[in-house]
Amino acid sequence: MNFKKLTDLGDISGKKVLLRVDFNVPLKIDGTVQDDTRITASIPTIKFLQEKGAKVIIISHLGRPKGEKSPELSLVNISKHLEQLLNQKIQFSEESIGEKVEQTISEMKNGEILILENIRFHKEEEECEEKFTKELAHLGEIFVNDAFGTAHRRHASTAGLADYLPAYPGLLMEKEIEHLSPLLHSEIKRPLVMIFGGAKIDTKIGVIQNFLNKADTFLIGGGLANTFLFANGKNVGSSLCEKDKSELAKSIMEECSRNKKLFLLPKDVVVSTEISEDAITKNISSDSVSEDEKILDIGIETAKEYAEEVKTAGTIIWNGPLGLCELKPFQNGSKIVAEAVAENKGTTILGGGDTADSIKRLNIPEDKFTHISTGGGAAIEYLSGETLPGIECLKA
């Protein structure tokens, strides 16, 4: 796959560059940034454009506001955080499009940075609506996509802009493609072990389907596991669970069984009746969860079993923590498995902000893994052979 490169841009001094980044980062209760991995990952591209004298207009989303303005999902605190990282003044626009934004851009000096408000405050963004996309494109002269984490979406700011502006991948996007593409175009070392966790159940079930004919072993944890446990007739108490996906979960497990794929679910789990740093927990069989209990981590025996599976893996792809890693009482399962993955001598790919955040929390050096992707769903879909709109639009 041939791509234009950022270094092919030539003279862009004074040019208005629309830079799509993925600043969809975890926030603390007070709204400040909890983990800035995705922000720091885009800094090389920002600095490159600044040094070339471009007017850098940053576009991002935060959370899922579903087309409605939501103060807690404003990018204003992200803007302040980026100011601290770059040690320079950054302008913030309370709007994403319109005359006020155009006026602000017209007054920008070469090398200055402007962050637009959460682009998903407009429902037209996710619809890639033509009029909205044209209006957004009108703000710039060049489109640079550095948001690998949203590359699997055809939204106005991730792919639509390429219909109206010259489009280039950012340095982070280049790096992601460079690390992940070899797994598409060469023989994957076997066995291929897929680890799935996290809370985004709806998207991951579809991705698991994409890998049913590719992976050898599936290790399931996090909120995702609860849906499969429920489909197996287990009581999951008051745990996070998408019960309406149980038939789909059953069909996935049945297909794995037919194709002799190993599909492991937690045999034991860590439960509590509360979610807090000082929660009282129990490690119990997954058959013994009561109605008032929440499953918040895989159990010790399950963690050891999963760790044994990854020891002999030729390739490991991991998306999503196996417990509620934000809180110490529910980190142990992810810790045991992560340490085993870190010791593996094969290819180890970790995907997603939550996965990267959990590795930081567990104090495991990032250089212990082949690659930690800034995109979760995007990385997994890319590796499954899916066409990603945000990447396709950047082809030379």
* Spatial distance between the Cα atoms of 155 and 70, rounded to a whole number of angstroms: 20
**Which residues are CB-neighbours of 208 under 8 A, at least 6 positions away?**
194, 196, 218, 252
Query: Nearest to residue 142, comparing CAs of 49, 220, 70?
Result: 49
Candidate list 140, 160, 377, 390, residue with the active-site label: 377
Residue 132 has φ and ψ, to the nearest 5°, of: -65, -45
* Spatial distance between the Cα atoms of 79 and 219, rounded to a whole number of angstroms: 38
Distances in Å between the Cα of 322 and the Cα atoms of 1, 196, 208, 337 are: 34, 8, 16, 9
Place of tokens 């149980």: 246
Distances in Å between the Cα of 119 and the Cα atoms of 20, 63, 68, 99 are: 10, 10, 10, 16
The question of whether 200 is a catalytic residue gets the answer yes
Element (H, E) at 382: helix 377-383
DSSP 310: H
Candidate list 170, 198, 333, 353, residue with the active-site label: 353
Paired strand residues for 59: 20
The question of whether 190 is a catalytic residue gets the answer no
Three-state DSSP at 101 gives helix
The question of whether 299 is a catalytic residue gets the answer no
- R_g (Cα) of the chain, nearest Å: 22
Query: Nearest to residue 368, comparing CAs of 345, 387, 393, 334?
Result: 345
Three-state DSSP at 320 gives coil
* Spatial distance between the Cα atoms of 273 and 252, rounded to a whole number of angstroms: 30
Candidate list 16, 200, 245, 294, residue with the active-site label: 200
* Spatial distance between the Cα atoms of 183 and 383, rounded to a whole number of angstroms: 7
Output the six-digit token pair for 116: 């637009």
Q: Is residue 276 a contact partner of residue 328, using CB atoms and an 8 Å limit?
A: no
Return left, alpha or beta for 130; rule: phi > 0 is left, psi -120 to 50 is alpha, else beta: alpha
**Which residues are CB-neighbours of 184 under 8 A, at least 6 positions away?**
382, 383, 385
Whether residue 389 has a cis bond before it, omega within 30° of 0: no
Q: Is residue 316 a contact partner of residue 247, using CB atoms and an 8 Å limit?
A: no
The question of whether 304 is a catalytic residue gets the answer no
Please give the positions annotated as active site. Answer: 38, 200, 353, 377
